[in-house]
């Protein structure tokens, strides 16, 4: 029994080290200008929060949560901006940057000449995307606490959820990138991302839309992310959180599976 289990453990350990080496490569490749790109992914949702959540919020007043509670508009919008920030950071790293490394820099053609396999490349790139998304989330949660839009305890609870959102969207973005043929294809993905941002219960409750559109919104990944983080950040409760977590875990697993298989076909052909 030991001889059967030990090789599997060794293999998992080796795969983890090889995936970590991909993350280390990305850290080593950082340039000073790159930090400006990282900063931009945090500033955009912060500006939305200050202009719409705080500014327009004085005109809107309170909005209802699914459990019937009324909260100030800024508190309603802030968790959605956090989910959007995690999504944006993860997608930016696993779409444009990932596509450039694979198709134009031919970086992974050299990587597979080493013991690193396509699945480990995908896992390493996802880990790097998670670090970027988590950095956005931590900074944004700090702003929410400073503006008294949530408590420190709730922020600490919401942070793992935001990291899960980054993982899920990072895996999805990586999978989609393997089907892209040119930079022009990213226009469609950008439009889809902006549509999700507007229609995921971000600025108004999903219940405010017509019934059919409401049901459609509730099956989108950003809505599940917003629903999860909003519930944690505002102190709600309910089993629907479990559905959100399972949804995001399934999306992450499916994205990783598709990305690794597609990379194997593209790199070994």
Strand partners, 70: 64
**CA 199 vs CA 24, 26, 192, 214: distances in Å:** 36, 33, 10, 9
Alpha-carbon dihedral of residues 219, 221, 227, 232, nearest 10 degrees? Answer: 140
Answer whether residue 61 shows pLDDT above 60: yes
Number of helices and strands (H, E) in the chain? 12, 2
- Cα separation, 176 vs 178, in Å, equals 5
Query: Pick from 49, 87, 117, 52: which is nearest to 197 by CA?
Result: 87
Query: What backbone phi and psi angles, to 5 degrees, belong to 112?
Result: -75, -10
> Taking the domains of the chain in order of start, what are their residue ranges?
78-268
Q: What is the mean pLDDT of residues 91-105?
A: 82
Given a contact cutoff of 8 angstroms between Cβ atoms, the answer to whether 115 and 22 are in contact is no
Strand partners, 168: none
Quick one: how far is CA 205 from the chain centroid?
Answer: 21
Query: Pick from 49, 228, 222: which is nearest to 149 by CA?
Result: 49
Name the average pLDDT for the chain. 81
Answer whether residue 9 shows pLDDT above 60: no
Q: What is the mean pLDDT of residues 25-34?
A: 64
Given a contact cutoff of 8 angstroms between Cβ atoms, the answer to whether 82 and 141 are in contact is yes
14-18, 71-75, 177-181: which has the minimum mean pLDDT?
14-18
pLDDT of residue 207: 84
Answer whether residue 260 shows pLDDT above 90: no
Query: Pick from 88, 108, 260: which is nearest to 174 by CA?
Result: 260
pLDDT of residue 6: 37
User: CA-based Rg of the chain, rounded to a whole angstrom?
Assistant: 20
135-159 tens-digit pLDDT: 778 888 888 888 888 899 999 999 9
11-25, 33-47, 224-238: which has the minimum mean pLDDT?
33-47
Answer whether residue 32 shows pLDDT above 60: no
Concatenate the DSSP letters of all residues of 252-266 into one string.
HHHHHHHHHHHHHHH
Instruction: Supply the pTM of this predicted model.
Output: 0.84
């Amino acid at each position: 029994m030991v001889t059967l289990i030990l090789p599997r453990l060794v293999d998992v350990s080796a795969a983890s080290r090889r995936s970590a080496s991909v993350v280390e490569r990305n850290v080593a490749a950082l340039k000073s200008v790159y930090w400006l790109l990282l900063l931009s992914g945090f500033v955009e949702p912060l500006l939305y929060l200050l202009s719409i959540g705080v500014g327009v919020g004085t005109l809107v007043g309170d909005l209802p949560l699914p459990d019937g509670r009324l909260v100030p508009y800024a508190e309603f919008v802030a968790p959605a901006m956090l989910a959007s920030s995690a999504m944006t950071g993860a997608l930016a790293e696993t779409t444009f940057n990932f596509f450039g490394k694979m198709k134009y820099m031919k970086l992974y053609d050299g990587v597979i000449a080493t013991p690193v396999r396509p699945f480990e490349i995908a896992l390493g790139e996802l880990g790097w995307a998670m670090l970027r998304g988590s950095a956005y989330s931590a900074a944004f949660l700090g702003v929410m606490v400073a503006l008294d839009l949530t408590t420190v305890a709730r922020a600490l609870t919401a942070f793992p959820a935001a990291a899960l959102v980054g993982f899920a969207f990072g895996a999805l973005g990586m999978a989609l990138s393997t089907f892209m043929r040119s930079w022009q294809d990213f226009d469609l993905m950008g439009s889809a991302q902006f549509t999700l941002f507007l229609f995921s219960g971000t600025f108004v409750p999903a219940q405010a839309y017509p019934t059919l559109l409401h049901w459609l919104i509730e099956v989108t990944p950003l809505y599940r992310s917003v629903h999860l983080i909003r519930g944690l950040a505002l102190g709600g409760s309910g089993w629907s959180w479990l559905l959100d977590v399972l949804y995001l875990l399934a999306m992450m697993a499916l994205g990783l599976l598709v990305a690794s298989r597609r990379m194997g076909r593209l790199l070994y052909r």
